[in-house]
Amino acid sequence: MTDAPMLDVPPDAPVKPPSRWRRMVESDLWYAFRTSPVAIVAFAVSTLLILSAVFAPWVAPSNPFDPASLDLMNGFTPPMTPNDFTGATFPMGTDDQGRGVFSTILYGMRISLFVGFMAVAFAMVLGITLGLIAGWAGGVVDAVIMRVADIQLTFPSILVAMLIFGIAKGVIPVQNRDDMAIWVLIIAIGLSDWVQFARVVRGATMVESRKDYVSAARLAGRRGPSILFRHILPNVLSPVLVIATISLALAIIAEATLSFLGVGAPPTQPSLGTLIRIGQDYLFSGEWWILFFPAATLLMLALSVNLLGDWLRDALNPRLR
Amino acid sequence: MSLAVVEGLTRRFDVSKPWLERVIGRQPKRSLTAVSDVSMTIEAGRTYALVGESGSGKSTIGRMVAGLLRPSEGEVRIDGEAVRAPRADVQMIFQDPYASLNPRWRVGDIVAEPARARGMEVEPGALLERVGLRAIDAQRYPHEFSGGQRQRIGVARALSSRPRLIVADEPTSALDVSVQAQVLNLMKDLQEETGIAFLLISHDLTVIRHMADVIGVLYLGRLVEEAAPATLFERPAHPYTAMLIDAAPKLDGFGREVPPPVGEIPDPIAPPPGCAYNPRCPLAIDLCRRERPALEPVGPGRAACHRAGEVRLEGVA
Amino acid sequence: MTPTLSIRDLTVDIPTRRGTLRVVDGVSWDIAAGEILGVVGESGAGKSMTGAAVMGLLDRPAHVSGGTVALKGEALDPNDEDAMRGVRGRGIGMVFQDPLTSLDPLMTIGDQLTETIRRHLPVGQGEARERAVRALEEVGIPAAADRLDAWPHEFSGGMRQRVVIALALCAEPDLVIADEPTTALDVSVQAQITALLKRLCRERGTAVMLITHDMGVIAETADRVAVLYAGRLAEIGPVRDVLTDPKHPYTQGLMGATPAASAGKGRLWQIPGAMPRAGSLPDGCAFHPRCGKAQDVCRRDPRPEVGRAHPRAACWFPVGEGAEATA
């Protein structure tokens, strides 16, 4: 060698690589977030709702499922009005059994969010795995997976969920039904939702697997599974994040719909949907608050999460705007 | 000493429509022969350059030599052993400095992978310093580097499993001239220092001439001429080589007016009979349309042309 | 005589959230009728931005923030999209690197040609079709009359670029701006396209601004060459003078870095470092951090400019002339 290789470094380059924190602060995503009022409001609302659901036992004035704290005399108290018999005041009124609607909503949201998150997580794992396999293997494997997905798409997702629910009902013994109901709900909603994850991941996998860094990984001696999960997976995740956010909103609504139809969360573990179903019985007798507040909460939750997802999609794909 | 021997290498690709469409449309299976019957020898510590236009099969040969692609017929042998899968001692440098580095990985991990995946010890910082970057750059991500710096990272990665042969597939065609010079110099330095052999694949005759010890000219998947640069550029034995040399823009060709070459590269799915170059060749005779010439010794090199002795350059080299 | 294109102190800015980037910084030149000006530079040097600015095709938020552009003595406002739409075609023809971006995939070749001709020239449908056939024949497309009804995807890459050239020239513009017209093509087709461009423009007296990174194409095609560095004009002059006797150290480095057919097998010239990014240019001459002969005056404003520093080069210490530093 004749002389040392010339350092190919601009003179003003900083010596230390930027920290994770600096990277985050300077990132385009953070900038897009800071400058979007919709995103900030949607984020604030959904975070507030999620946090108050998570910390319901500390936030809620009473535990609506603890019979000891209930007083039937409190039944049908209108919001912000002292009860005629006990003089107790409830911010959102009470239902027929004297449970504070505010507290039932906080506890109900826990169930709704739990089902929503778990269903999306299930759909994500299933969809990403099948999408990666289909996109990587191609040929017959791809064709089979994607045809199954096509067939799945021809059924409305609520119908799929109800079908699964019906089958589960036949299989699970009666005494376990209430305990299993939540899990059946999660699987039912998750199964009806994996297709879009699979489609997006399959497409992205096909694009990524043609890139040279994948050839380089093969040259390095890596094989299929290792390349798929260590190299390709991290690069197909950003569209997944967008779909997951929007799916969360849809899953929460799907859960509410199923519970409203009576095939979802049991009355012993009421979700927002169950609360709405209970509430509608009293709508025409004048106790509007029993329906109104759970419904308004569902709307706010679904809307804020959905807006967040929409914003994320635009922020990650500037060309779509 | 010959390091890699390529013998009768052929690769066909299935280019039929998807199965269902083909059956419904009653179309036959179609295949494209990207590489046919290529034989060549890469010497240790030397640079063998493959030159050709699009569809010449040069990248396909490179991927077969690197073990990324199985030949349909023939084989690549290294130390007498057929290449069937990627090997530690054959690595690659890719064309696109953006797509060839995983954007989610730190540079240090990228550079070390060929060694680590095989359980070899490696010092990423030292590799980066060897290609003119800093050891601390190992902590950064690819997007923090310019195209030229990324290509150096690609070179560092190729070095990490201590290869004896590096397949460089258009390593500089995405780079600016001054950056290209840096990468070409780096490749030369590494060759002098460690005796690495290169299989350099390029469409750029000036790069080829600057780097190569032996040049192979490909046309439509076949080797049509092979010679040392001095011979090839002074007295090409194949009319296609002569056309390429004449057509390439010259730095000192001020106001040069050469009659431009005729025609374009034919459809590789249905190549013309006989010599594939015959429809564009000014020297073509009936024999060329009927019978494909074999690659035979012509002067100090080899050429596949019925009229090899009569080829002339238009301009003065 | 009035030059076909005259640009003076052309400046293009891109406002971003991290400040304004000046991607073209005070570029001036003339192109006479029938003359081919080659514009070379590395990526980020501003050559495509200069071309897009003259055509009025800058993508927002990039805009012309200073200087003038005049076509045959008439001032243009490159920021006025409506006015520029009228100028393109009749005044300025365009050829881009990727022919597919210039052709409408949903229109036949003939329709695209006749539409362009009729929009700019006062001719009827029949005559427009005849002219379209002639235009295709001129660019060497065999059986032109039959191919009028063909779609862009039915042509090969080289043939498509011929159609694009026919399209650029069919309204008989005074100026053609060709941005990397042969970069995507194979060597043999590249030679056909440059020869074609050269011949047609010579015959019609069209002025050409040929933007490319390929010094060889410039040498064989251009009459004069402009070398851009970091958005600024580094050197401009007759192509033979600039390439064989460069006055700017950057041009010299660029030539040294190009593997030449005649040169030996030694090391190529390496310009240390990389071109500074727009927005982080140093004071004075933008090239001084990479220049072996930089003096204090090079690091200070005002920066050297063509004409003031040297008739051809923007350098205080032109290569091979008197005031060489001994460092």
CATH number for position A213: 1.10.3720.10
Q: Which of C188, C255, C259 sits opposite B207 (nearest CB)?
A: C259
Quote the CA–CA distance of B43 and B4 in Å, as a whole number. 7
pLDDT (average), residues B36-53: 94
Nearest-CA distance from A5 to chain B in Å?
A: 5
- Rounded Cα distance between A313 and A29, Å, is 11
Calpha distance C37→C224 (Å, rounded): 5
Shortest alpha-carbon distance between residue C130 and chain A (Å): 41
- Mean pLDDT check: name the lowest of A14-23, A70-79, B98-107, C160-169: A14-23
B83 versus C277: which is more confidently predicted? B83
* C-beta atoms of A1 and B193 within 8 A: yes
CA–CA distance, A167 with C286 (Å, rounded to integer):
74
Place B30 in a pLDDT band, splitting at 50, 70 and 90: confident
Which of B186, B254, B258 has the highest number of chain C CBs within 10 A, making it the mutation to test binding with C? B254
- pLDDT for the residue numbered A6: 42
Whether A17 and B86 lie within 8 Å, measured CB to CB = no
Tell me whether C156 touches chain B (CB under 8 Å): yes
Q: CB neighbours (10 Å) of residue A259?
A: 28
Contact list in B for residue C270 (CB cut-off 8 A) is 178, 181-182, 185
Q: What is the DSSP letter of A227?
A: I
> Does the N-terminal peptide bond of residue C302 adopt cis geometry, omega within 30 degrees of 0?
yes
Please state the φ and ψ torsions of residue A183, each to the nearest 5 degrees: -70, -35
Closest CA to C165 of C186, C146, C192: C192
Distance, CA of C170 to CA of A305 (rounded, Å): 55
Q: Which residues does chain A have within 8 Å of residue B67's beta carbon, measured at their own beta carbons?
A: 219
Mutation target vs A (from C17, C269, C275; most A CBs, 10 A cutoff): C17
Which chain C residue lies closest to B189 (C-alpha atoms)? C267
Of A1, A220, A234, the CB nearest to B192: A1
Q: Is residue A226 part of a domain?
A: yes
- Chain C residues within an 8 Å CB radius of B53: 186-188
Q: Yes or no: say if B251 and C216 are a contact pair by the CB < 8 Å rule.
A: yes
Write the CA distances from C97 to C102, C161, C226, integer angstroms.
9, 9, 19
Q: Which of C158, C187, C260 sits opposite B244 (nearest CB)?
A: C187
Closest CA in chain A for residue B95: A212
Query: What is the model's pLDDT at position B191?
Result: 94
Q: Please name the residues between 232 and 261 in chain B that touch chain C, using a CB distance below 8 Å.
A: 233, 243-244, 246-258, 260-261
Instruction: Tell me which residue in C267, C270, C273 faces A10 most closely, judged by beta carbons.
Output: C273
Q: Encode pLDDT of B161-211 as tens digits.
A: 999 999 999 999 888 888 899 899 999 999 999 999 999 999 999 899 999
Burial B100-135 (b: 16+ CB within 10 A, else e): bbbebbbbbebbbbbbbbeeeebbbbebbbbbbbee
Rounded to 5 degrees, φ, ψ at B39 are: -125, 130
The pair of three-digit structure tokens given for residue B34, joined into one six-digit string: 């990207």
Is the Cβ of A72 closer than 8 Å to some Cβ of chain B?
no
Q: How far apart are CA C165 and CA C177, in angstroms?
A: 11
Q: Are B260 and C191 within 8 A, CB to CB?
A: yes
Token duo for residue C245? 């006797």
CB C174 within 8 Å of CB C206: yes
Cβ distance of A8 and C274 shorter than 8 Å = yes
B98 touches chain C (CB under 8 A): no
How many Cα atoms within 13 Å fall on the side-chain side of residue A5?
27
Task: Give the percent of chain B with pLDDT over 70.
Answer: 98
Q: Most C CBs within 10 Å: which of A1, A3, A6, A321, as the mutation test of the C interface?
A: A6
Kindly state the tokens that stand for B49: 């350059």
Q: Choosing among B64, B113, B183, which should be mutated to test the A contact, i.e. which has the most A CBs within 10 A?
A: B113
Tokens representing residue A257 in the block: 């719909």
Torsion angle, alpha carbons of C67, C70, C76, C78, to 10: -50
State the pLDDT at residue C144: 86
Chain A residues lying within 8 Å of C267, measured CB to CB: 2
The answer to whether the beta carbons of residues A165 and A188 sit under 8 Å apart is: yes
In 3D space, the residue among C171, C153, C152 whose CA is nearest the CA of residue C163 turns out to be C152
C257–B178 C-beta distance less than 8 A: yes
Is C266's Cβ below 8 Å from some Cβ in A? no
- Domain assignment of residue A67, yes or no: no
Is residue C168 within 8 Å of C94, Cβ to Cβ? yes
d(CA C97, CA C83): 25
Gap from C222 CA to chain B (nearest CA, Å) = 8
Return the pLDDT at C86. 84
Which chain A residue shows the shortest CA-CA distance from B151? Answer: A8
Rounded Cα gap, residues C12 and C63, in angstroms: 6
For chain A, which chains pass the contact test of at least 3 CB pairs under 8 Å? B, C
Q: Could you give the ipTM of this predicted complex?
A: 0.88
* B217 DSSP β-pair partners: B51, B225
Residue A147 inside a domain? The answer is yes
CB contacts of C276 in chain A (<8 Å) are 10
The residues with which C25 forms a beta bridge, in sequence order, are C11
Q: Which helix (H) or strand (E) holds C12?
A: strand C5-16
Sign of the CA dihedral with B79 first, then B84, B90, and B92 last? positive
Strand pairing partners for B87?
B90
Highest mean pLDDT among A80-94, B35-49, C84-98: B35-49
pLDDT at C325: 44
Q: Out of B99, B118, B139, name the one closest to residue A221 (CB).
A: B118
User: Left if phi > 0, otherwise alpha if psi is -120 to 50, otherwise beta: which for B221?
Assistant: left
pLDDT tens column, C9-66: 999 999 987 788 999 999 999 999 999 999 998 888 999 999 999 999 998 889 999 9
pLDDT at residue C22, rounded to an integer: 92
Mean residue pLDDT of chain B comes to 90
Identify the burial level of A26 via C-beta atoms within 10 angstroms of its C-beta, where 0-12 means exposed, 13-18 middle and 19 or more buried: exposed
3-state secondary structure of C123: coil
Picking from C187, C253, C254, the nearest residue to B203 by CB comes out as C187
Q: How confident is the model at residue B316 (pLDDT cuts 50, 70, 90)?
A: very low
Distance from CA of A235 to the nearest CA of B (A): 7
Where chain A has pLDDT below 50, the residues are 1-14, 319-321
pLDDT value at position A1? 33
Q: What is the largest CA-CA distance in chain B?
A: 65
The pair of three-digit structure tokens given for residue C272, joined into one six-digit string = 């240390």
**Closest alpha carbon to C166 in C239, C102, C251:** C102
Q: How many angstroms separate the CA atoms of B229 and B209, rounded?
A: 6
Mark yes or no for CB contact C219/B261 under 8 Å.
Answer: no
CA distances from C135 to C118, C120, C142, C216 (A): 14, 15, 12, 28
Between strands B31-43 and B47-51, the pairing is unpaired
Q: Judging by beta carbons within 10 Å of its beta carbon (0-12, 13-18, 19+), is residue C98 exposed, middle or buried?
A: middle
Paired tokens of B166: 């590096």
Structural domain for A167, as ranges: 30-58+98-320
Does A233 reside within a domain? Answer: yes
**Calpha distance B68→B83 (Å, rounded):** 10
Residue spans of the domains in chain B: they are 224-317
Instruction: Note whether A8 contacts C17, CB cutoff 8 Å.
Output: no
Answer whether A11 sits within 8 Å of C280, measured CB to CB: no
Contact B206 C190 (CB under 8 A): no
Name residue, tokens 């997944």. Answer: A240
Contact at CB, B132 and A6, closer than 8 angstroms:
yes
Residue C327 has pLDDT above 60, yes or no: no
Q: How confident is the model at residue C265 (pLDDT cuts 50, 70, 90)?
A: low
C270 lies within 8 A of chain A by CB? yes
Closest partner residue to C261 among B176, B250, B258, by Cβ?
B250
Q: What is residue A269's predicted lDDT score, i.e. its pLDDT?
A: 79
Say if residues C208 and C32 touch (Cβ distance below 8 Å): no
Chain B CB contacts of C158 below 8 Å:
264
| End-to-end C-alpha distance for chain A, whole angstroms | 52
Task: Please report the pLDDT score of residue A16 as a whole number.
Answer: 62
Among the listed ranges B231-245, C17-31, C308-322, which one has the minimum average pLDDT value? Answer: C308-322
User: Which residues from chain C sit within 8 angstroms of residue A12, using beta carbons?
Assistant: 280
Q: Is the pLDDT of residue C158 over 80?
A: yes
Residues 41-70 in C contacting B (C-alpha not used; CB under 8 Å): 42-43
CB contact under 8 A, A213 and B101: yes
Rounded average pLDDT over C108-119: 91
Q: How far is B132 from C284, CA to CA, in rounded Å? A: 28
Which of B94, B189, B193 lies closest to A216 in CB terms? B94
Q: How far is it, in rounded angstroms, from Cα C139 to Cα C194?
A: 11
Q: What is the pLDDT of residues C200-251, one digit of tens each?
A: 888 889 999 999 988 989 999 999 999 999 999 999 999 999 999 999 999 9
Number of residues that make up chain A: 321
Contact C215, C254 (CB under 8 A): yes
Tokens of B40: 């060549």
Query: How many domains does chain A fold into?
Result: 1
pLDDT value at C312 more than 80: yes
Contact C260 B176 (CB under 8 A): no
In Å, how far is B250's CA from the nearest CA of chain C? 5
Cβ separation of B113 and A216 shorter than 8 Å?
Answer: yes
User: Residue A269 has which token pair?
Assistant: 């573990």
How would you write chain B as a 3-class SS string? CEEEEEEEEEEEEECCCCHHHHHHHCCCCCEEEEEEEEEEEEECCCEEEEECCCCCCHHHHHHHHCCCCCCCEEEEEECCEECCCCECCEEEECCCCCCCCCCCCCHHHHHHHHHHCCCCCCCHHHHHHHCCCCHHHHHCCHHHCCHHHHHHHHHHHHHCCCCCEEEEECCCCCCCHHHHHHHHHHHHHHHHHHCCEEEEEECCHHHHHHHCCEEEEEECCEEEEEECHHHHHHCCCCHHHHHHHHHCCCCCCCCCCCCCCCCCCCCCCCCCCCCCCHHHCCCCCHHHHHCCCCCEEECCEEECCCCHHHCCCCCCC
Residue A67 phi, psi dihedral angles, 5° rounding: -55, -30
On whether residue A91 sits in a domain, the answer given is no
C-chain residues near A4 (CB < 8 A): none
